Amino acid sequence: VMVTALDQAEDRVNGLEAGADDFLTKPVNDLALVTRVKSLVRLKMLTDELRLRAATGQEINAQDMLSGVARTDTPKARAMVVDDRPSSYERIEKFLSAEHSVTLVSDPREALLKAADEDFDVCMISMSLVDFDPLRLCSQLKSLEKARILPLIVISELEQEEKVMRALEMGVNDYIRRPLDRNELLARVRTQVKRKRYNMELRKSVEQTLEMAVSDSLTGLHNRRYLDNHLPEMVEKAVGRNSPLSLIMCDIDHFKAVNDTFGHDIGDEVICEFTKRLCKNIRGIDLACRYGGEEFVVVMPDTDTALAEIVAERIRTEVAHHPFVVAEGREQLSVTVSMGIASMTDAGDTPGKLIKRADVALYNAKRGGRNTVTVEAA
């Protein structure tokens, strides 16, 4: 982040095009500085996590990916602009259309549908929407699975600083103020598009190159061997940042009875369906592994015990309240899951201790009647 007394639009553009992720002009508003840095830290954490996973898989060349993103022959980025004032969105389209494919949306509800159905590289949202709260729209977009890593840029008026701060706090990636400068707008969009494509390349490469040695062939999740190699790195990073880390251990209840009654093929279907429901309820930065048989582990960086308990309860509810449809629709099985949670307690905590405490919490959940979430004893 560049901090300078230069305040001309050309200076901002030069800074961004030179490689800066953001540009603040003195005197710097303290809250603006803090929230901008928080937004960039969130993005870097995701990139670091994906790099770490790639290194663990040992089958990736990050430099090749960086070169691929920087190529000039890549297709035009798809930008969605959500604005209900023609005079405003026509100007934005004019600025962006030279470099990007622009989709204009005047109804915010339609924007949610488009984000769920189509692939965009960046989304720009006016903070002056007439009949819809732009902050609510940002929150709803961030909650969509498909739009989870879609960069959001809000367009604000000078007097809307408080709204901008709230938007950045909830995960919006960047903002730009009116009156819009064409070059600054293009530079900010360019930065966000590059980051999005880089992250997508990392995800794609990790998915394609992780071998069976670190993957479970049935579910596609990482296996116990991968967890054993990767968890120490995650613990070390949490200690270094003095940030929380939680681990959830899951066990499908009475799974042996499913195999004995319906056969191992149906048991495999139950495992796969549970995997889908598990992954649907965790973040991309979380690490889900098949620990063995019907046991699963989820490692959640930057997550304290209270938040981990909320996530675990959501997974438990998702499993218990909706029967598993198997055997090509001929059977519906009621399935439940027991879960134990452990969180890092201090800098001296180790991966082995963390797993052991989660295992004890899981044992207590099963002993307490199953289909429940239990947190490690204090």
Question: What residues are labeled active site?
Answer: 294
HEC profile of the chain: CEEECCCCHHHHHHHHHCCCCCEEECCCCHHHHHHHHHHHHHHHHHHHHHHHHHHHHCCCCHHHHHHHHHCCCCCCEEEEEECCCHHHHHHHHHHHCCCEEEEEECCHHHHHHHHHHCCCCEEEEECCCCCCCHHHHHHHHHHCCCCCCCCEEEEECHHHHHHHHHHHHCCCCEEEECCCCHHHHHHHHHHHHHHHHHHHHHHHHHHHHCCHHHECCCCCCEEHHHHHHHHHHHHHHHHHHCCCEEEEEEEECCHHHHHHHHCHHHHHHHHHHHHHHHHHCCCCCCEEEEEECCEEEEEEECCCHHHHHHHHHHHHHHHHCCCEEEHHHCEEECCCEEEEEEECCCCCCCHHHHHHHHHHHHHHHHHCCCCCEEECCC
For residue 182, the one-letter residue type is R
- What tokens does 76 get? 């035009």
- What tokens does 123 get? 């989304």
| DSSP bridge pairs for 325 | 332
